[in-house]
Structure 1
């Protein structure tokens, strides 16, 4: 069984790429009010939710279990509408030495919505740890909830 890997999922959304990306890049603090699997989020270190030096503390429902972790933005590319996050500590830190989440939002060719691609790069602490497919399901469901929220706004 592989200890390191990369898995990904693409989700088609109805809103335009810039609106969806704006939520992730500028309004991340609102995710807990939009996504039912996010049970809590707070700014752990720093003054700004969207600054790369800031650390957020999350409590989420993954695979039917409440998990905690800290998250830090590693890179933001406004032009490419992409973000990279590092997750660590809490339940994530107990199972993974490395856990990076990348997201990129791109317009579709017909400009009717967008595609959101989530990728998780990981290194398990040992072979007994599950491949984090449940995290991809979490991101997929959250993407649909954000899309629905933005369509209603």
Structure 2
């Protein structure tokens, strides 16, 4: 049994892919104001929220439990509207050796877009369940955020 895996979800949204990418690549600190599932974030180390060496501290709810971690941006691909985030420390390190979110905003023909989230992970041992709660979290946050992006 492999301890490494990937789980993905694709969510159709109304806001354009460019708005989504701009939010996740350049305005990440606003997420805490757009969904009640994220309780707070602060810059832990670095110059700003969007520099690759910057580390942010997040507090959020997963599976009904308030959870914390730190996060850094691993890469930003503007051409493909993709951002890879590495999550670590806090509750993440209790269960996983490796944990990443891959965000991608894809234009569709109706003026909206498709948001694709992939969670890449490696569990510490076979007793740790795959992180399905994170996929549910990302899906619900995406719905909350879409409503706000339509107003902007």
Please classify the TM superposition score into its range, dividing by the shorter chain length: over 0.9
User: How far apart are 1:2 and its partner, in Å?
Assistant: 3.4
Question: What runs of 5+ residues in structure 1 fail to find an aligned partner?
Answer: none
User: How far apart are 1:111 and its partner, in Å?
Assistant: 3.8
TM-score by length of 1: 0.96
Q: Residue 71 in 1 paired to residue 64 in 2?
A: no
Q: Where does 1:50-129 land on structure 2 (aligned, <5 Å)?
A: 50-108=50-108, 110-129=109-128
Q: Deviations over 1:10-57 (max 9, x none)?
A: 010001100111111111001001111001100000011001000000
User: How far apart are 1:100 and its partner, in Å?
Assistant: 1.1
- Give the Cα separation in 2 of the matches to 1:19 and 1:121: 24
Instruction: Report the secondary structure of 1:18's partner residue.
Output: helix
> 8 Å contact 1:16–1:111 — kept in the other structure?
no
Q: Which residue of 1 aligns with 2:3?
A: 3
Q: Residue 40 in 1 paired to residue 40 in 2?
A: yes
- Give the Cα separation in 2 of the matches to 1:87 and 1:13: 25
- Give the Cα separation in 2 of the matches to 1:143 and 1:47: 27
> 8 Å contact 1:42–1:56 — kept in the other structure?
yes
In the TM superposition, structure 1's runs of 4+ consecutive aligned residues that sit over 2 Å from their partners are none
Across the aligned residues of Structure 1 and Structure 2, the Cα RMSD in angstroms comes to: 0.9
> 8 Å contact 1:76–1:84 — kept in the other structure?
yes
Instruction: Report the secondary structure of 1:43's partner residue.
Output: strand
Question: What runs of 5+ residues in structure 2 fail to find an aligned partner?
Answer: none
TM-score by length of 2: 0.97
